[in-house]
Amino acid sequence: MQMIKIEYPPYQPKIKEENGRELIFDEFRKRWIVLTPEEWVRQNFLQYLTQTKKYPASLIAVEKEIKLGELKKRFDIVVYDKNSKPWMIVECKEMNVSLDKSVLDQILRYNISLDVPVGRYRDLTDAEIKELNQLIEPSSKTEEASLPKIEPTKKRTEFIKRDDPRFKKKGDY
């Protein structure tokens, strides 16, 4: 799968040092957070979602707890649709962490609880389906082995250009 290049908007975060640690102010959580490499990615991606993609901040949740069976986990970012249904999961990783099977597994586990519609806006190509299936091949872990396989569809959805009337604009989500 080809990575999408993201052009982050200009951003002047509030950063301070306290007790020998750098902190960044999170506008969404309304508090100071330890500035880790992952937190830096999360804060910049939140700016991308709100400034570049124009998602309303009121439809974005950051670092909320979810239950996976008896386990309690925290997702990084979830964007909700206008009906308050989870629409997109964002898992943030620091820049030097590769996006591999473990990251996909993490998102798929979170989606068991969140039930974000998969493939609702774009069908996957056969090559993408093959790659995803290779990533979620059954393993010795029961949780991973229970994930359903994604089946190819006959229908193909093309990429929609911004000037196409079918392109989702602000207010359509």
Return the pLDDT at 164: 54
pLDDT, tens only, 119-129:
544 445 666 66
Number of folded domains in the chain? Answer: 1
How deeply is 18 buried, as exposed, middle or buried, from its count of CB atoms within 10 A (0-12, 13-18, 19+)? exposed
Closest CA to 92 of 43, 131, 33: 43
Return the pLDDT at 151: 47
Domain span holding position 87: 15-145
Return the pLDDT at 35: 95
In a domain, 156, yes or no: no
Burial 23-56 (b: 16+ CB within 10 A, else e): bbebebeeebbebeeebbbbbbbbbbbbeeeebe
Return the pLDDT at 78: 92
In a domain, 104, yes or no: yes
In a domain, 7, yes or no: no
Return the pLDDT at 141: 41
Return the pLDDT at 11: 85
Full strand arrangement of the beta sheet holding 60-62: 60-62, 77-80, 86-90
In a domain, 168, yes or no: no
In a domain, 134, yes or no: yes
In a domain, 94, yes or no: yes
Return the pLDDT at 5: 67
In a domain, 167, yes or no: no
Cα 171 to Cα 173: distance, rounded to the nearest angstrom: 6
DSSP characters over 85-99: -EEEEE----TTS--
Residue ranges with strand state E in the chain: 15-18, 21-26, 31-34, 60-62, 65-68, 71-74, 77-80, 86-90
**Pair 38, 93: CB distance under 8 Å:** yes
Return the pLDDT at 24: 95
Return the pLDDT at 61: 94
The residues of the chain scoring below 70 in pLDDT are: 1-5, 118-173
In a domain, 2, yes or no: no
